[in-house]
Amino acid sequence: MPTLKESAEKFLQLKTIAVAGVSSTKKDAANFIFEKLKKSGYQVFAVNPNASEIDGNPCYPDLTSIPGNVEGVVIGTNPKVTLQVVKECATLGIQHAWIHKSIDGGSYSKEAEEFCKEHGINLIPTGCPMMFCEPVDFPHKCIKWVLHATGKLPKSYA
């Protein structure tokens, strides 16, 4: 069983990552993750069915609309949409997904986690890529420490 750190490192070795839930109306977790991955050299795609552009970057209505192959997806949507996103991953053959979950419930969906297990999608159902994508900023170092200390960020997740 891989540890969360090992799983995060494996996910962050991917080159093309979609971020579902990026918003054109407010800066939220998905927006910050999108920007961090972009600045870290990843080929990143914003996904939101209600926007065609976000901060000068093209935005796609769904994973199917992204040109080329996406290796992984970070899910920063409303939890009610998370299952839909992982189903689209399965349809497209995307083998890696990360559901953003921090101090609050984030985008976590038990149904989505179960779907990923049933369909062989490598899922990280907790935490935030910004707690692992170097260089990690001070606030995310603190959040990671607090989540570990309170047991809300388990060492392994499978």
pLDDT tens-place string over residues 48-81: 999 999 989 999 999 999 998 999 999 999 999 9
Whole-prediction pTM: 0.93
Mean per-residue pLDDT, 102-121: 91
Interval 25-54: pLDDT, tens: 888 899 999 999 999 999 999 999 999 999
Q: How is the chain split into domains, by residue range?
A: 4-149
* Strand order across the 53-54 sheet: 53-54, 57-60, 43-47, 16-20, 72-75, 96-99, 122-124
At 155 the pLDDT is 63
* 4-149 is classed CATH 3.40.50.80: no
Beta bridge partners of 101: 127
Are the beta carbons of 8 and 130 closer than 8 angstroms?
no
